[in-house]
Structure formats: C-alpha cells, structure tokens
C-alpha cells in the first residue's frame, strides 16, 4: 500500500489519521510542523501527504510549495477554515484536495484512495487535437493555451478541466460528471470544487470566459459554433 506523511501540530489529529490509514494497510510517518515535513521529504519518498494549514515554524501552504520544488507528491490539505479564498490558494499551489476540519476520518480515507488512484494512473495517449475559438487557442496534446497569442499559465487542474470542456463542447455537463471525469471523484466529490476551478479558469481565459456557460442548477457547458 502507500506510504503517507501526516503533518499536523495536533497530536490527536495525527493519531486518528494514523489509526485509520494503518487500518487501510498504509504505512504512516508523522511530522509536527511544516519544517519537519520539508526535511523528511528531502530524505524520503512518500506516496501522499496529508497536511494541516496552520502550523508553527512553517505553515502548510509554504511547506507544500517547498516540497514541490523537488518532488511531485500529492497533497491533501486539512484546515479549520473553509473559505473559498483558502481553497483557491491551495489549488493554485498544487494541492490535490482540501478537507475542512472537523472531518470524518472515513471520508478522509475515501479521498486518500481517490487521490492515490489518480496519481498511479498511467497518462493516456495524447489526443492529437488543436482548437481555435476566435482568439483562444487550445492545444490539447501540447497542453498549452493561448489568449490572443499570449501563452496562458494555468494550474494542472485548470488545463484538465478546460480540455475536458473543449472535447465535450456544446454538451451540457453536470457538476457530478465533471467531478467524475476530471477529478476522478464519484460519491465523495464536492460541487464547490468544480465551481472554484471554473472561476479560476474563467479568470485565466479573460475575455474568452464567455465560452464557459453556467447552466443554473446543473453545471456548465463550453458553448461555441464548432
């Protein structure tokens, strides 16, 4: 099974996560702050990190950025704060999932399973398709997006979401469908995850955000003439 690094300054939180993770067959290493987590990641390899945001010495966001400078390890962030801004910032720096305290250990383990499964998947062969929608150029095999000739830098999940929307253009897509296809979630998905990433994606596309249409009470659609 997986080797998980659990990082939290609260001993009881680490204990609970360890018990549930070990019950699922995972190996667990603990760290009490972000600085210790960064040091451990330099010395060892982990399949997943479960990390608190607010910690002494070095907070979770800063620790995540430091770790990702050298290793691409999936991260599930724990936080007592559930504001959209916090989630947006987490996703922008490469966090894979965000769980708000207090949380259900069983649900956390379900999310661990999903993130590990996604990380282990072999990338599919690239689809040889490029699209142009007015001044928006979408190069799926090259994983590049240009707005009026300027290359746009987006998070990995923004690219995945845009590419899925484009490949299924003019098709109404529910939030659950997007969660299942883009995130790999099924029952444990959160509609707000989709809404947050759509907001980020629209900001990245500028004037061409108009192609992403909100379907009230349902989901979204990439609407175009093609």
CA atoms of 71 and 94, how far apart (whole Å): 12
CA atoms of 166 and 212, how far apart (whole Å): 10
Q: CATH no. for residue 110?
A: 3.40.50.2300
- Does 125 reside within a domain? no
Name the DSSP class of 125: P
| Inter-residue contact 56 to 86 (CB < 8 Å) | no
Q: Given a cut of 70, is residue 126 above it in pLDDT? A: no
Q: Are residues 99 and 9 in the same domain?
A: yes
C-alpha torsion 32→34→36→41, nearest 10: 120
- Domain extent, residue 92, equals 3-120
Give residue 33's pLDDT. Answer: 94
Write down which residue in 120, 155, 170 finishes a domain.
Answer: 120
Number of domains present in the structure of the chain: 2
* Greater model confidence, 2 or 91: 2
Tens-digit pLDDT profile for residues 3-56: 999 999 999 999 999 999 999 999 999 999 999 999 999 999 999 999 999 998
Residue spans of beta strands (DSSP E) within 20-160 = 27-31, 48-52, 75-79, 97-100, 130-133, 136-139, 144-147, 150-151
116: number of Cβ within 10 Å: 18
CA atoms of 130 and 144, how far apart (whole Å): 10
Residue 125's pLDDT band, with cuts at 50, 70 and 90, is low
Tens-digit pLDDT profile for residues 157-196: 899 999 999 999 999 999 988 988 888 755 455 678 899 9
| pTM of the model as a whole | 0.62
């Amino acid at each position: 099974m997986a080797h998980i690094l659990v990082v939290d300054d609260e001993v009881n939180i680490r204990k609970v996560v360890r018990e549930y993770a070990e019950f699922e067959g995972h190996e667990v290493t603990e760290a009490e702050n972000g600085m210790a987590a960064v040091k451990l990641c330099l010395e060892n390899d982990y399949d997943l990190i479960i990390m608190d945001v607010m910690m002494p010495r070095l907070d979770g966001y800063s620790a995540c950025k430091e770790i990702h400078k050298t290793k691409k390890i999936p991260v599930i962030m724990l936080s007592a704060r559930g504001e959209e801004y916090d989630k947006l910032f987490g996703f922008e720096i490469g966090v894979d999932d965000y769980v708000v305290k207090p949380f259900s250990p069983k649900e956390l383990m379900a999310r661990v399973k999903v993130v590990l499964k996604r990380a282990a998947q072999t990338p599919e062969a690239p689809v040889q398709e490029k699209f142009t929608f007015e001044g928006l150029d979408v190069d799926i095999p090259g994983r590049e997006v240009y707005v009026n000739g300027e290359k746009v830098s987006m998070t990995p999940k923004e690219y995945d979401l845009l590419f899925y929307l484009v490949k299924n253009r003019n098709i109404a897509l529910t939030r659950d469908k997007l969660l299942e296809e883009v995130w790999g979630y099924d029952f444990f998905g959160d509609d707000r995850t989709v809404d947050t990433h759509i907001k980020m994606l629209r900001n990245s596309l500028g004037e061409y955000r108009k192609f992403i249409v909100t379907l009230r009470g349902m989901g979204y659609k990439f609407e175009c003439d093609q």
